[in-house]
Structure 1
Amino acid sequence: MGTTISGVGVEAVEYAQESGTVRTQFDQEKTPASMAVIATLADVRDTEPVDLTPLRSTVDPEELDSLVRVRNGANGDTHVTFTHEGHAITVHSYGVVAITPEHELTAEKYERGEGR
């Protein structure tokens, strides 16, 4: 693994400054998606994972892990999107977590004229 965020090993971390989106690539064989979500969100919020609202208050962690388990290339991507702690979170079955602050999504929507 390339780096550690909030105590969880990830292969890559990307920060998109213009959108505020943080993307992490994690090894699904070693790290459940739910753990990758909490680690990435803690990093985004600059806090400890234990200081976050439990993920279970928004989504069932075991179901999330099951829905986005490792897929072979023939099955395509399965992804789950939800909001937690004021952030839009998308978890892809190819091992990527993308987290964007909700206010950034709203601002982009208005800039495109979709929120009027």
Structure 2
Amino acid sequence: MIDKQDSSPGKTTQPKVSPSVEKEALESSVCQFESFEHYPDENMYRAIFDANTVSPSTAVIGVISAVSDKDPLDIDPLYSSIDPDAFDTLMSHQSIADGDVHVAFELAGYDVTVSSYGSVTVQTPQKDITTAKGD
């Protein structure tokens, strides 16, 4: 779950800013983020962008680029997962009265969720580890 908090009483997951992502990758990102947080216990990153000046598709590529430390041109194209024009149109035509829209998809090995209010959450998929028991 994206907005995940531990259900234990009094325990919540606190974000940490990843210095390596913060300094190097974010400075060369394709867009500016208002904030960029790392939740290491969940291997999740959350970036907040200005939805009035940055398209959601550009923000997604910027976050994936920063997290993977790859040039945006070396990342799987967004259209390999979703239609970028339809995605941007859907996300930009939302108003507060309409409520927040979330779109989730996989791109470049990451689970991506974008909010029409201007957040991108990127998480490495959890791998199921199954051990075989010999009887």
TM over 0.5: yes
Selected match of 1:6 from 24, 29, 38: 29
Moved over 6 A (4+): none
Please report the TM-score for the alignment, with normalisation by the length of structure 1. 0.82
What pairs up with 1:1-116 in 2 under 5 angstroms?
4=27, 6-69=29-92, 71-102=94-125, 104=126, 106=127
**Structure 2 unaligned spans of 5+:** 1-25, 130-135
| Percent of residue pairs bearing the same amino acid type | 33
**Which of the two has greater strand per residue?**
1
Structure 1: tracts of 5 or more residues without a match: 111-116
Please give the TM-score of this superposition, normalised by the length of structure 2.
0.71
RMSD: 1.7
Paired residue secondary structure (1:73):
coil
Deviations along 1:27-53, whole A, 9 cap, x unmatched?
111110000000000111011111111
Instruction: Count matched residues.
Output: 104
- Judge which range, 69-78 or 10-19, deviates more: 69-78
Q: Normalized per residue, which structure has more helix?
A: 1
- The structure with the larger Rg is 2
CA distance in 2: counterparts of 1:5 and 1:63, whole angstroms: 27
